[in-house]
Structure 1
């Protein structure tokens, strides 16, 4: 079994690392969809034209986009840490 070491006591199997890479790619697609204003409630309307419910839904859409981006950035950061550790001579 092949392991990747990326910190004190932190170990991933190779198959886990590959799954994290796949998740990162899927998250990128979700971020693109979530961050596109065309997909938000009230697209094309001015804020004053939105109903109270539409404003709340539009705000929720923005929060989801930010949350998805945050998850993608954290996963990408984890991949970067593992790659740097691997390139520094650790287990690959």
Structure 2
């Protein structure tokens, strides 16, 4: 028996958002350590797109849990939340 196509689509969209969060995290680390030039047009464009897509999600989490000692934990919380949601969807619906 196959998986409902709508459940599959939702799970794939969650995977896409998780990938975007991971790429955003790695890119920000590379820019912070000076490995990647933040002013390069391609890097700047990718960073702007990721910020526009992910900032609404991160800002809601930042409203609940502020940065602790200058460290923003919102990407980590978003990853845990999305993985929990994904596993709950698969367990209860699929």
Instruction: State the TM-score bracket (shorter-chain normalisation).
Output: 0.3 to 0.5
With the length of structure 1 as denominator, give the TM-score of the two structures.
0.41
Query: Which of the two has greater strand per residue?
Result: 1
With the length of structure 2 as denominator, give the TM-score of the two structures.
0.40
Query: Which of the two has greater helix per residue?
Result: 2
